Structure 1
Amino acid sequence: MDDDGKLKQSGSDIDNEVYDTEQSTTTEKNLPKIPEASFSLFISSLVTQALISMGEVDNPFSKTKNQNLDQAKFTIDTLQIIKDKTCGNLADEEEKLLDTALYDLRMRYVEKSK
């Protein structure tokens, strides 16, 4: 509704501009800055996801440790697919990060599976 109490067409450009401006000023002040995307950050996020699934790290939403080994295996397998598909295209540091992550996660997975 407009100031006179009449219905306006929803989704109008003016409504969107006002909404976007209000949202951006509100959220920019409250949210931490997002780091620049990189291969190592992507791999680290998958490693964190696997650790959460294995119950090694608190779930950031529930603040509890829950174990879901099927989900952990899926994430580890996803990292292996990334390794296979990027073979020969990674910098030495990126390849070492991926190899180390896979080894560490697999060892933790085997231990949790016992």
Structure 2
Amino acid sequence: MGNQAESNRPCPDGKVRGADGKCVMPEVSFSTFILSLNTSALFHMGELPHPETGEKAVDLELARHSIDTLRMLQDKTRGNLEEDEKELLDNILYELKLRYVKIAGD
């Protein structure tokens, strides 16, 4: 019964439930890496709160660094991505650039 109750609780710190029901880090893939950089950029643009304090802070230099890293990955992987990976990267970069311009212009 203890295992059942434990498997119903949410996993902490970005972990997911594995096949055995235990909380584990998600599988490393190109898409999860891109999503991680996206989260970092959103956090530094003040779009996401700090997980421990709940506070939002803006650091445009770090946000720009995350966006530049994604752009570099886009350049270096051109022609080598699955269509869904390319689409994910293109869409994330587009959205982040729009948000960055809006925040930086305020």
Same fold at TM > 0.5: yes
- Aligned counterpart for 1:67 among listed residues 46, 54, 58: 58
CA–CA distance in 1 between the matches of 2:68 and 2:59? 14
**2:71 counterpart residue number:** 80
State the structure with more CA Rg.
1
**1:22 counterpart residue number:** none
CA–CA distance in 2 between the matches of 1:72 and 1:93? 24
CA–CA distance in 2 between the matches of 1:39 and 1:61? 27
Per residue, is there more helix in 1 or in 2? 1
Structure 2 residues without counterparts, runs of 5 or longer: 1-21
**1:102 counterpart residue number:** 93
**2:38 counterpart residue number:** 47
Identity of aligned residues (%): 46
Structure 1 residues without counterparts, runs of 5 or longer: 1-30
Question: Which deviations, in whole Å up to 9, do the C-alpha atoms of 1:30-81 show, x marking residues without a partner?
Answer: x831111111100000000000000000122432100000100010000000
**1:3 counterpart residue number:** none
RMSD: 1.2
Corresponding pairs, count: 84
Task: Name the TM-score, length of structure 2 as normaliser.
Answer: 0.76
